C-alpha cells in the first residue's frame, strides 16, 4: 500500500483566469509551511490558467494537475490538449472521466480508456480516473455492477508498467456538489469493490503498489475526519471546498 495520502482540489470552471491567479497566490502563501511527507496536495485549475498557476505554485509543496486531456500526443484535433503539453505546463496529474464530462461532453467508455492509455504512455503524468454510480443505480442495487463495469471499460487491456501510478477516484455522481456525503461504511464498501475489480485485472500486488483509491463528493473540513479514518482511505478529490484556501487547508490538515 502506498503510504501517503493525496488531496486533490478540482477548481472545475469555477474560477476564471484572474481568479485562478489570485487564488494560486493565496494557496501558495497558506501552504508555504505545509510540509508533510505523508500528504501530497494537488490543485487542478482550468487549462488556460494551468501554466501560470503552476509557476506560482512552484515554490510551494503544492502540485499541479489538469482537469482533462486528449488521447493523442499531436495531430489535427482542434481544441484538444495533449499529455505532453500538460507535462510541459507543469502538471503531474490529470483528471480523466469526471462525471461532469461524461454528462455534458458525452465522454464515453472508449474515450476514457484511450485517455488513460495515452497518459500512461508518457513519463511524468499520473491519471486520476473518476468513476461512480448515479443515484438510481444505488437505489436499484446496481452499484457494484456499475463500478466494476467502469473499471473494466477504462482499464482492461492496459499495460501498466512497474513504476506507473494510477489514482481511482470513487465519486458517486449524486454526492457531487450536493452536500450529501456517503456514510463512511458505504465508502469503505465501494472502495473494497473497486480494489477487488482492479485485482481481478492486474493482481493484488499491483493494487497495492500502483493504485490509490480515493473518495470524492461533497467533502469539506467538517466531514473529512470521519472519511479519512476509514481503512484503506488513500485520499480525497475535493470540488467546492477546494476553492477557498482556508477551507482547503483545513481539509489537508485534518485528513
Burial (CB count <10 Å: 0-12, 13-18, 19+), residue 156: exposed
134 flagged as catalytic: no
Interface with ligand PGA includes 217 (CB under 6 A)? Answer: yes
Closest CA to 45 of 28, 60, 77, 23: 23
**Contact yes or no for 191/212 (Cβ under 8 A):** no
Distance of alpha carbon 90 from alpha carbon 88, whole angstroms: 5
Q: What is the DSSP letter of 122?
A: S
From residue 159 to residue 198, what is the string marking binding to ligand PGA with x (rule CB under 6 A)? Answer: ------------x----xx---------------------
> Looking at beta carbons, which residue is closest to ligand PGA?
239
Choices 57-65, 113-121, 186-194, 212-220; region in contact with ligand PGA by CB under 6 A: 212-220
Distance of alpha carbon 107 from alpha carbon 77, whole angstroms: 16
- Helix and strand element counts for the chain (H, E): 11, 8
Q: Which residues, 9 to 48, sit near ligand PGA by CB under 6 A?
A: 10
- Which residue, 81 or 224, is less far from ligand PGA as judged by CB? 224
**Contact yes or no for 101/140 (Cβ under 8 A):** no
Catalytic residue among 98, 100, 107, 113: 98
226 flagged as catalytic: no
- Which residue, 63 or 202, is less far from ligand PGA as judged by CB? 63
- Which residue, 120 or 227, is less far from ligand PGA as judged by CB? 227
Minimal distance, residue 129 CB to ligand PGA, in Å:
12
Active-site residues, by number, are 98, 171
Residues near ligand PGA (CB under 6 A) are: 10, 171, 176-177, 216-219, 237-241
Amino acid at each position: 500500500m502506498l503510504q501517503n495520502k493525496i488531496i486533490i482540489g478540482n477548481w472545475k470552471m469555477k474560477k476564471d483566469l484572474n481568479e485562478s491567479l489570485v487564488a494560486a497566490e493565496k494557496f501558495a502563501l497558506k501552504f508555504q509551511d505545509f510540509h508533510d511527507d505523508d500528504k501530497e496536495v494537488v490543485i487542478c485549475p482550468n487549462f488556460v490558467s494551468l501554466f501560470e498557476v503552476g509557476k506560482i505554485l512552484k515554490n510551494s509543496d503544492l502540485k499541479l494537475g489538469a482537469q482533462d486531456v486528449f488521447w493523442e500526443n499531436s495531430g489535427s484535433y482542434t481544441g484538444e490538449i495533449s499529455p505532453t503539453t500538460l507535462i510541459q505546463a507543469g502538471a503531474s496529474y490529470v483528471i480523466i472521466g469526471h462525471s461532469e464530462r461524461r454528462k455534458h461532453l458525452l465522454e464515453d467508455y472508449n474515450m476514457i480508456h484511450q485517455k488513460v492509455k495515452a497518459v500512461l504512455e508518457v513519463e511524468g503524468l499520473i491519471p486520476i480516473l473518476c468513476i461512480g454510480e448515479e443515484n438510481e443505480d444505488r437505489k436499484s442495487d446496481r452499484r457494484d455492477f456499475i463500478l466494476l463495469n467502469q473499471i473494466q471499460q477504462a482499464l482492461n487491456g492496459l499495460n501498466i508498467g512497474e513504476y506507473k501510478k494510477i489514482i481511482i477516484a470513487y465519486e458517486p455522481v449524486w454526492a457531487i456538489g450536493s452536500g450529501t456525503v456517503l456514510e463512511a461504511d458505504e465508502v469503505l464498501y465501494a472502495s473494497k469493490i473497486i480494489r477487488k475489480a482492479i485485482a481481478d485485472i492486474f493482481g493484488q500486488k499491483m493494487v497495492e503498489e500502483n493504485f490509490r483509491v480515493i473518495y470524492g463528493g461533497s467533502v469539506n473540513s467538517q466531514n473529512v475526519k470521519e472519511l479519512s479514518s476509514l481503512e484503506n482511505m488513500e485520499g480525497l478529490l475535493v470540488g467546492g471546498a477546494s476553492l477557498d484556501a482556508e477551507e482547503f487547508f483545513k481539509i489537508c490538515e485534518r485528513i
